[in-house]
Structure 1
Amino acid sequence: MSEFTVTGQWNARDGWQSFEKDIEAVNENVAREHVLAEFGSKHGLKRTQVEIEGVDA
């Protein structure tokens, strides 16, 4: 598995907040899914409330 850095923004109460997460995953698509699932479970956000700007290996 490789380590990916996922960057983007999520819709908080005060407006859009930037984030940067390091995720171990098989490929970029799996890394995106892990980030979206994490924001959904921890913050109760829907996928439309998270914008992923980039995934770097």
Structure 2
Amino acid sequence: MSEFTVRGKFQARDGWQEFETSIDADNETVAEERTYTNFGSYHGVKRTQIEVEEVEGQ
């Protein structure tokens, strides 16, 4: 497993907020999917309210 940095923004109550998070995953696609899952459960937002702009491997 590798560590990926995922950057993007999500729709919060007061507008769009940018985020940057580190995810352990097998590849970039899995890292992006885990980001959707984590933000959905933690912030209560749907996938359509999350925009992933960049996935960068380390």
Q: Distance in 1 between matches of 2:51 and 2:14?
A: 16
What RMSD, in angstroms, separates the aligned Cα atoms of the two structures? 0.5
Tell me what 1:32 maps to: 32
Tell me what 2:22 maps to: 22
Which blocks of at least 5 consecutive residues in structure 1 are unaligned?
Answer: none
Q: Distance in 2 between matches of 1:43 and 1:56?
A: 23
Instruction: Please report the TM-score for the alignment, with normalisation by the length of structure 2.
Output: 0.95
Identity %: 60
Instruction: Please report the TM-score for the alignment, with normalisation by the length of structure 1.
Output: 0.97
In the alignment of these two chains, the number of paired residues is 57
Which blocks of at least 5 consecutive residues in structure 2 are unaligned?
Answer: none
